[in-house]
Amino acid sequence: MRRSLAIRGVRIVFVLSVVLLLLSSPCFADFRFVVMGDSRGSDDGIDTKVFRELLKQAGSESPEFILFAGDMTTGSKHRDIYRRRLLEWRAIVGESGIPVYIAIGNHEVKSELSEDILRSIFDMPRNGPVQFKGLAYSFDYHNAHFIALDTDGYKNFHRIDTEQLDWLKEDLENNKNKPIFVFGHEPAYPVYSHIKGSLDRYSSKRDELWDIFRKYGVTVYFCAHEHLYNRSKHEGVYQIITGGAGAHLHSSAGNGGFHHYVIVDVKDNGACKIIVKDIDGRIRDTLTINVGKKGSR
C-alpha cells in the first residue's frame, strides 16, 4: 500500500512538473496573415468592387490579420475629402471583420495635415521613432515579428531617413532569431513603372536599409507602389511587390499585372509558406522559406 501511494505521489509530482513547464514556456502556434496593397480607384478614391472581392476571398482563407502596404485611397489636399475617403476605406475593411495593420503610401500624404488625420483614424502601435508615431511601428504575433516602415513621409518621399533606420536597427537587435516581416509602400528594387521613383531614387539610403535587413535576417520585405505582383531576392532577402488590390494595373497579366492578395502561413518552427492568389482564386505563385536555414525555394 505504501509503495502504491509512493508511486502515485511520484506520478502526481511528474504531471504537475510538466504542467508548470508548459505554462512557463512560450506558447507558439501556426498562424496565417494576408498582405495587400494599392486599392485606390475611381469610387471616391477607392476601387470598391475589386477591393471588396479580394477582401471576401481573403476572409475565406481565415487570416489573423491583414498587412496593407499603402495607397489605400486616392488622397486629397482637402481635409474633409481626405478624411471621408479614409473612413470609407476603413469601413470597407471593417465589413470583412479582419484586423488590419497599415503602412502609408505616397497617395496618403498630400499635406502636412495628412499624417495627423491618418493617426486619428487608424490606431496603430505607437512604439516607433518620435516623428513617426503610429506610422512606423512594430509588433509581435506568436513567434514572428512585424515592422511597418514609413517610406513616404511628407516632403520625404522615396527614402527611409536616419531616424527610422536607427530605430529599425535597435528594434531588430531586440528581435533576433525569429521570422521577421517588414512592410512599407515603396519597393527597394522596383521592376516596372516606378524604377528610379521608389527607394532606389536614393540608392545609398536604400542600400543602407537593405544591409540592415540582411544583417538581421529579415524574412520578407512586402511593398506595393507598382500595381502588379513580383517576387525577387537580393542578398538573401526576399522582396515581394503586392500592389494589386484595385488600382489600375501597370503591367500585363503575364508580367504580374493581375489583381491579387498574398497569403502567408507561419509555422511554429519558423518556416513560412507564401501563396499568391488572383481575383479569380487561382494560385499564381508559391514560395516556401525555411527561416534561418539554407535551402529556401
- Using a pLDDT cut of 90, give the percent of the chain over it: 76
pLDDT (mean) for 114-135: 94
Torsion angle defined by CA atoms of residues 93, 99, 101 and 105, in that order, rounded to the nearest 10 degrees:
0
Q: How far is CA 191 from CA 188, 232, 250, in A?
A: 10, 9, 11
Where b means 16+ CB within 10 Å and e means fewer, 137-159 reads bbeeeebbbbbbbbbbbeeebbb
| 11-25, 31-45, 94-108, 270-284: segment of lowest average pLDDT | 11-25
Pairing of strands 100-102, 260-266: unpaired
CB of 158 closer than 8 Å to CB of 190: no
More confident: 5 or 18: 5
pLDDT for residue 7 is more than 60: no
Query: Where do the domains of the chain lie?
Result: 27-289
Question: What pLDDT, on a 0 to 100 scale, did the predictor assign at position 29?
Answer: 61
pLDDT (mean) for 170-179: 92
Task: Extract the C-alpha cell encoding 74.
Answer: 486616392
Q: How far is CA 130 from CA 134, 135, 166, in A?
A: 10, 10, 12
CATH match of 27-289 with 1.10.240.10: no
Question: What pLDDT, on a 0 to 100 scale, did the predictor assign at position 290?
Answer: 87
Q: Write out pLDDT tens, residues 32-70.
A: 999 999 999 999 999 999 999 999 999 999 999 999 999
pLDDT for residue 181 is more than 50: yes
Task: Extract the C-alpha cell encoding 153.
Answer: 513621409
pLDDT for residue 18 is more than 50: no
Q: Write out pLDDT tens, residues 266-288.
A: 999 889 999 999 999 999 999 99
Question: What pLDDT, on a 0 to 100 scale, did the predictor assign at position 75?
Answer: 85
Q: Write out pLDDT tens, residues 192-240.
A: 989 999 999 999 999 999 999 999 999 999 999 999 999 999 999 999 9
Question: What pLDDT, on a 0 to 100 scale, did the predictor assign at position 292?
Answer: 54
pLDDT (mean) for 5-10: 45
Q: How confident is the model at residue 155 (pLDDT cuts 50, 70, 90)?
A: low
Nearest to 251, CA basis, from 228, 230, 232, 279: 228
- The whole model's pTM is what? 0.88
How far apart CA 150 and CA 160 sit, in angstroms, is 7
CB of 68 closer than 8 Å to CB of 56: no
More confident: 157 or 1: 157
Mean pLDDT of the chain: 88
| 6-20, 79-93, 169-183: segment of lowest average pLDDT | 6-20
- What is the DSSP secondary-structure string of 62-110? --S-EEE-S--S---SSHHHHHHHHHHHHHHHHHHT--EEE---GGG-S
How far apart CA 29 and CA 208 sit, in angstroms, is 34
